[in-house]
Amino acid sequence: MVSNSTFWRGKRVLITGHTGFKGSWLTLWLKQLGAEVTGLALPPNIQPSVFEQARIAECISSHFCDIRDVDRTRQIIHNANPEIVLHLAAQALVRTSYHDPVATYACNVMGTVHVLDALRDLDSVRVAVMVTTDKVYRNREDFYPYREDDALGGHDPYSASKAASEIVIASYRDAFLREQGVAVASARAGNVIGGGDWSEDRLIPDAVRAWQAGQVLNIRHPQAIRPWQHVLEALAGYLDLAEKLWQEPELAGAYNFGPPTHEAATVQQVIELARTAYGQGRVRYAEQASGPHEAGWLALETAKSRVLLNARPRWSLQESVRRTMAWYQAQNTGADARTLCEAEIAALEGSRPRQPTKTANS
């Protein structure tokens, strides 16, 4: 399953967070599939932004709104009368959550409440995919891939707020929306990379900014391990999940999306792949991890999404990094951002799922 245009053509879809990195890519993809898209989000808070670079506002009904504003959020959602809701709006940065925990909790927990509550008396909606994160699990820092039924938790405010939102999502599904006929799922995706991410304190954007300026890239946690994947791999999972829930609402629940467990990689491995793809770049790796606490080892078990959704990665980590760096280099030399994004979407749609790679124990 990836991008069934027959299914999505003419569907009324509401995306929260459509001005963000993942939201912009998802909005563009859905428009290509023929969906009628309404976006609800804050204006882009970084410059540049892929939302503006790829002219996303031109092709949808775009509304600037803070999801902490319960009345305005409800009004926009009801006016859109969506059949499918994809909730991506969030305060999505770990280090920012340390600086402003109150805003992080307000956005990620109460913002999720506001979106879900707006669906309670909406007859049109049938599916809601609520995007959280791979960091919702109580991280034990051992070599264990987290499964959807593992304990939730979070050391930093971002992770804790997303874990709390998972409880909210499950409550609204069980207490209200299942009886109403709305299939509600949460999507927990691994670390995403891809062209057009300009956020601060993210690995690839920090590398691109440093290398384009001829500066040294400083890495705080070189040995931290994450389940890296291209942004389109995660979005394909969200689309597949929404389509599956439309057909089989009884499958509502939590789903992990990411690469096979043994393909999780360190920050240093990703940066060395990026430097090779970029062709140059100076890096300084910290001998000891610095800054606020961040998880050292994180991987996801994705058997549920493989079995129930047939969700399988298309691109290896090396290919994902190569494509990401090529996007930034092409855009930096004048290529049109929307054209670059559309080409990447076409490339993923045309790629066959990868066959599982063998480990030393297989």
Q: Average pLDDT for residues 133-152, to the nearest whole number?
A: 92
Judge whether residue 136 has pLDDT over 50.
Answer: yes
CATH no. for residue 47?
A: 3.40.50.720
Question: Residue 49 domain-assigned?
Answer: yes
Q: Per the domain annotation, does 45 fall within a domain?
A: yes
Confidence of residue 287 (pLDDT cuts 50, 70, 90): confident
Distances (CA, A) of 314 to 123, 178, 273, 354, 357: 36, 33, 18, 5, 12
Q: 104-135: per-residue pLDDT in tens?
A: 999 999 999 999 999 998 999 999 999 999 99
pLDDT band for 141, please (50, 70, 90 cuts).
confident
Is pLDDT at 5 greater than 90 in this prediction?
no
Each residue of 54-80: pLDDT tens digit?
999 998 999 999 999 999 999 999 999
Residue bearing tokens 């609204």? 172
pLDDT band at 44 (very low <50, low <70, confident <90, very high): very high
Segments forming the whole domain that contains residue 50: 12-350
SS3 64: strand
Domain count for the chain, please give it: 1
Does residue 47 belong to any structural domain of this protein?
Answer: yes
CA pair distance 346, 151, nearest whole angstrom? 38
Report the C-alpha gap between 15 and 87 in whole angstroms. Answer: 6
Q: What is the pLDDT of residues 201-220, one digit of tens each?
A: 899 999 999 999 999 999 98
**Residues 67/89, Cβ–Cβ less than 8 Å:** yes
On whether residue 302 sits in a domain, the answer given is yes
Q: Reply yes or no on whether the pLDDT at 255 is more than 70.
A: yes
Q: Is the dihedral of CA 74, 247, 1, 149 positive or negative?
A: positive
Residue type, 214: G
Average pLDDT, rounded, for the chain = 93
Find the mean pLDDT for residues 327-344.
97
Task: Tokens for 207, please give them.
Answer: 């590398």
Beta pairing class for 265-266 and 225-226: antiparallel
248-253-256-257 Cα dihedral, nearest 10 degrees: 40
Instruction: Answer whether residue 70 is part of any domain.
Output: yes
- Structural domain contains residue 132: yes
Residue 3 domain flag: no
Q: Do the strands 254-257 and 183-189 form a parallel or antiparallel pair, or are they unpaired?
A: parallel
Residue 299: helix, strand or coil by DSSP?
coil
Distance CA 165, CA 133 (A): 10
Q: Flag whether 329 is in a domain.
A: yes
